[in-house]
Amino acid sequence: MDQMIFAAEIFLNGLMTGVMYALVALGFVLIFKASGVFNYAQGVLALFAALTLVGIQQGQVPFAHMINAVFGTHVEHFGWTVPSVLAIILTGAVMVLLAFLIEKLVLQHLVGQAPIILFMATIGLAYFLEGLGDVMWGANIKNLDVGLPQGISESIEGVTANWFGYGFFIDRLDIWATVIAALLVAALVAFAQYTKQGRAMRAVADDHQAALSVGISLRFIWVMVWSIAGFVALVAGIMWGTKSGVQFSLSLIALKALPVLMLGGFTSIPGAIVGGLIIGVGEKLFEFFIGPMVGGATENWFAYVLALLFLVFRPQGLFGERIIERV
């Protein structure tokens, strides 16, 4: 019985992690659908966004480290701090600018290349952004606080203690993150389904040529989806950064989104959501039940192996379109 209650607590935690995975995965799906690019840099985008946010908030001088090295100066801070909301808006603007630059400097020159070439280009992009983030804002671990509530939720602990005789430990931040992520997911789905830009985006995803012929601007759509991806990355960066500090490992959450995509299918929005939940819950439960027997830390690989095994039996993923081969 105790075991089951623990499992339920872990299930809840897993569900909340899963929503975050789903959010990051959604960033992938949007870009993949609209531009056929499998964006490996999504995680580094989240890291970059979080670094920029902290930097702006605390009034850090960009490239301070490099300026000091070159000119022998000792600049670090401008001496002001920026309110969270303004800092988030400014960071959002930076992400849009970044999207524009990526389209201009990278994607535009790779139109018509094989998907795998584009994929490798985004790996290069990921390296570049990782280095850029460090050079701009410094590589030390930073605390991120935009005023999200943190700490154990006493009310949930109280309620569950009443019900089961055992209080669930659930972080308020996780609850907030889940709510925000769920809202964002809903907003993105609504955007893709019901707005003019969303329809244009889906049209591009279906057929570049046909979309062009009815007067949709590919470049605009690409800048838009990369901006959206940047925005999603910013939200993910805020959540994860608040939770465990802004540091390199933040970029690895995006790697977790990859098996989510494999499970859900690269082109399916519901797939990303369901896949995220399955992996979030699955890896937590696996670690709880099987982890202790094999030495723990199974979260490192569980998602990949699950996705791999799943794909062997269903190569197109949960919701992906069935592939019919022709000659």
Partner 1 sequence: MLYREAGDFKTSYRADGQTFPIRLDRWAYYAAIAVAFLIVPFIINDYWASAVFVPFLIYAIAALGLNILTGYAGQVSLGTGGFMAVGAYAVYKLMTAFPEISIVIHILLAGGITAIVGMLFGLPSLRIKGFYLAVATLAAQFFLVWLFNKVPWFYNYSASGQINAPERTILGFAVSGPAASASTKYLVCLVFAFVLAWVARNLTRGTSGRKWMAIRDMDIAAEIIGVNPLAAKLSAFAVSSFFVGIAGALLFSVYLGAAEVGEAFGINKSFLVLFMIIIGGLGSIFGSFAGAAFMVLMPVLLKNLLVGGFGWPTDLAAHIELMIVGALIVFFLIAEPHGLARLWALTKEKLRLWPFPH
Tell me which residues touch partner 1 (CB under 8 A).
Answer: 38, 65-66, 69-70, 105-106, 109-110, 113, 115-117, 119-121, 123-132, 134-135, 139, 255, 258-259, 261-262, 266, 294-298, 300-301, 304-305, 307-308, 311-312, 315, 325, 327
Three-class SS state of 36: coil
Smaller CB separation from partner 1, 92 or 275 = 275
Report CA-CA distances (Å) from 4 to 152, 164, 227, 280. 21, 11, 43, 18
d(CA 129, CA 127): 6
> Minimum distance from CB of 84 to partner 1 (Å)?
27
> Minimum distance from CB of 45 to partner 1 (Å)?
13
Smaller CB separation from partner 1, 47 or 238 = 47
Smaller CB separation from partner 1, 238 or 272 = 272
Tell me which long-range contacts 98-104 makes (C-beta under 8 A, separation of at least 24).
98/45, 98/48, 98/226, 98/230, 99/223, 99/224, 99/226, 99/227, 99/229, 99/230, 100/223, 100/227, 102/226, 103/219, 103/222, 103/223, 103/226
> Minimum distance from CB of 25 to partner 1 (Å)?
12
Smaller CB separation from partner 1, 174 or 283 = 283
> Minimum distance from CB of 260 to partner 1 (Å)?
10
Q: Which two tokens stand for residue 249?
A: 């490992």
Smaller CB separation from partner 1, 193 or 300 = 300
